[in-house]
Chain A
Amino acid sequence: MTGTTAPLSAPGAGVGRSGRVALWLRSVRTGFLPILTVIAGLILIWYFACIPMNAQQSVLLAERAGQTVTPETAADRRGMSGAAIALRNPAAAMASAFVQDRPRLPAPHQVAAELWGSTVGLAVTSKRSLVYHAWVTLSATLLGFAFGTALGILLAIGIVHSRVMDMSVMPWAIVSQTVPIIAIAPMIIVVLYSIGLQGIVPKAIISTYLSFFPVVVGMVKGLRSPDAMQLDLLRTYGSNQNQTFWKLRLPASLPYLFASLKIGICASLIGAIVGELPTGAVAGLGARLLAGSYYGQTVQIWSALFAAAILAAVLVGLIGAIEKVLLRRMGLNA
């Protein structure tokens, strides 16, 4: 914390530099450098882990190529841990740890290559294109998110304005979240299918369920955030409940709303992905995960996973950007 609170004019802080450059340098030192170091460390660990994780297969390949390995038969190696095999055959384990077709743990560059190949390298309409699958998941996510947000805001307005709603609905909204809804996603899909609903709607319903709760909790907190003084002021203006809502409660709740929206969109993405699992792997990122796990295509699983991660990051970033613009225009510098 000391880095950000020290004055810019501290001795030696800005010698020969404008304040702007000093600020930028500070953000590099306190912002990016540690993050980049941690990420680089993680990638290094990942590469290193590939060697023992893939050792079984690497040594088998070396044996087939006619090299001598210890222990000599695959049956003897079966019970051994990857690390032990890698230690006994360092050369063979290193040789093919990062280039296998179906490794237990694909190396980062393999995942990156697959990710690049299946997004940029293929036509968007192709069934193997990750852009196509990501769009299938994204459309369900957004639909569910829109429903969930609307439902959450309506419930929150009800809870704030009606004591009965507050006392009777709120405890059950909390209990509803201890039900692992994701686990019953297959049932929701099958039941809706039996009454003729299929495709995007069942997935969107799961997303709705997952995203409404954070919005309710955040909005209730936000709508109640104006303090007694502010409410009193509006009362002295003679404003009715409606006006108080539009002019005070709603604007005051926006920072809380955006914080919950960020949680909500992640939850709805998870809902959409899990919702795709029981449909028999047709389309979507979840389907790619399932198909990959059926056929042992580990690189495909990892690239679908990273596609989901990138999608989540983009969605959260988008909401953050909207929040920034909107709050700045309202004069709330967040």
Chain B
Amino acid sequence: MILVLFALTLWAAAFALNIRLAAGPHTRAVHLAVPLIFGLTILAMWELIVRGLDVPMVILPAPSLIAGAFTDNLPVLWADLNQTFVKGALTGYAIGATAAFAVALLADRYTFLKRGLLPVGNFMAALPIVGTAPILVMWFGFDWQSKAAVVVVMVFFPILVNTVAGLTDTQAMQRDLMRTYGASYGQTLLKLRLPAAMPFIFNGLKISTTLALIGAIVAEFFGSPTLGMGFRISTSVGQLALDMVWAEIVVAALAGSAFYGIVAFIEKRVTFWHPSHRG
């Protein structure tokens, strides 16, 4: 009980600190510190409450136990990450993004195709595409190829829709200027419309990073070799080894955040001219 009380006082203290920080001048440090304090407080409260109330590990393991499982099983976790993320998700992401980009260029060239493809693509992007996982696993076998295939299907439509929308995002004045320069279709595309489309394309790419990881993991529920993050999660749940499940979740969160962060970083370098990145 004392630990729980301690957790609550810690919460109050951290919250008061955050209020003071937020009311003060907004420097870069404050912007980093406030969410960090919030996150650390949650972690500390989790640990204290789980210990204080003796929550069984089957329901919720304490963060320290999860950290232990994480460091003890590093080789296993690394192998899983390699199988699911590098082989399944990244390969599928690359293929899916390339295919979507190619189709988007085609749709952009032929207005009729665009009018038909855009509503259909928008519709498909909203569908539970994860459901195709059992079919694709049946077609491409249990190994990473089927996971990559699921990821291809999942990331295709968001990137397609965003790219097509981005390619139309130029003003008549700008296009007229290119015409007065005597620019060909290819030159207009390369020098004007593709750069203008970049914020949209990166929006699609960023949305797809998490979709890729989700697709690769969920596809493993329908059959996988004896490694992979989805496989490990479903078997560890069966063994009630929840600390291992949570360690896998930590890996997934780290990989997902890193993937998103890298794409966001590239976006910042490519679209440095965009208002949202200036200043």
Q: Which A residues are within 8 Å of any B CB, using their own CB?
A: 30-31, 33-39, 42, 53, 104, 163-164, 167-172, 175, 177-180, 182-184, 186-187, 190-191, 194-195, 262-263, 266, 269-270, 273-274, 277-278, 285-286, 289-290, 292-293, 296, 298, 301-302, 304-305, 308-309, 312-313, 316
Contact = CB atoms under 8 A, between A and B. Distances in A.
Given A293-B137, A304-B131, 6 more contacts: A167-B22, A167-B35, A178-B253, A194-B59, A293-B135, A293-B138
Interface in B227-279: 229-230, 233-234, 237, 240, 242, 245, 249, 252-253, 256-257, 260
Contact of B135 (A178, A187, A301): A301
Contact of B130 (A169, A270, A292, A298): A270
B7 interface: no
Contact of B253 (A179, A269, A292): A179
Contact of B214 (A31, A180, A187, A305): A180
Contacts of A180: 210, 213-214, 217, 252, 256
Contact of B126 (A35, A194, A316): A316
B138 A104 contact: yes
Interface string B117-159: 1011001001110111011011100000000000000000000
B38 A172 contact: yes
Contacts of A163: 22-23
Contacts of B58: 191, 194
Q: Which of the listed residues A35, A104, A178 has the most CB atoms from chain B within 10 Å of its own CB? A: A178
Main secondary structure of the interface of B (DSSP, over half): helix
Interface in B38-65: 38-39, 58-60
Interface of B: 15, 18-19, 22-23, 30-31, 34-35, 37-39, 58-60, 112-117, 119-120, 123, 126-128, 130-132, 134-135, 137-139, 209-210, 213-214, 217-218, 221-223, 229-230, 233-234, 237, 240, 242, 245, 249, 252-253, 256-257, 260
A177 B131 contact: no
A14 to B, nearest CB: 22
Given A167-B34, A183-B233, A292-B134, A34 B113 contact: yes
A290 to B, nearest CB: 7
Given A35-B116, A266-B126, A168 B131 contact: no
A309 B22 CA distance: 45
Contacts of A194: 58-59
Nearest to A181: B214
Contacts of B37: 168
Most central of B58, B116, B230 by chain A CB within 10 Å: B116
Contacts of B214: 180, 182-183
Contacts of A302: 135
A266 to B, nearest CB: 5
Nearest to A263: B126
A2 B260 CA distance: 38
A33 to B, nearest CB: 8
A172 B35 CA distance: 7
13 contacts: A34-B112, A35-B120, A167-B31, A168-B34, A168-B35, A172-B38, A180-B214, A191-B60, A194-B58, A286-B131, A293-B137, A302-B135, A305-B128
B218 A182 contact: yes
B134 A190 contact: no
Given A171-B35, A308-B131, A309-B128, A104 B139 contact: yes
B18 A168 contact: yes
A35 B237 CA distance: 45
A197 B38 CA distance: 30
Contact of B112 (A37, A170, A187, A266): A37
Nearest to B110: A34
A167 B36 CA distance: 10
A183 B59 contact: no
B230 A183 contact: yes
A243 B47 CA distance: 41
Nearest to A194: B58
Given A168-B35, A175-B253, A293-B222, A312 B126 contact: yes
A172 B39 CA distance: 8
Given A269-B128, A278-B234, A179 B115 contact: no
A270 B211 CA distance: 12
A175 B253 CA distance: 8
A190 B237 contact: yes
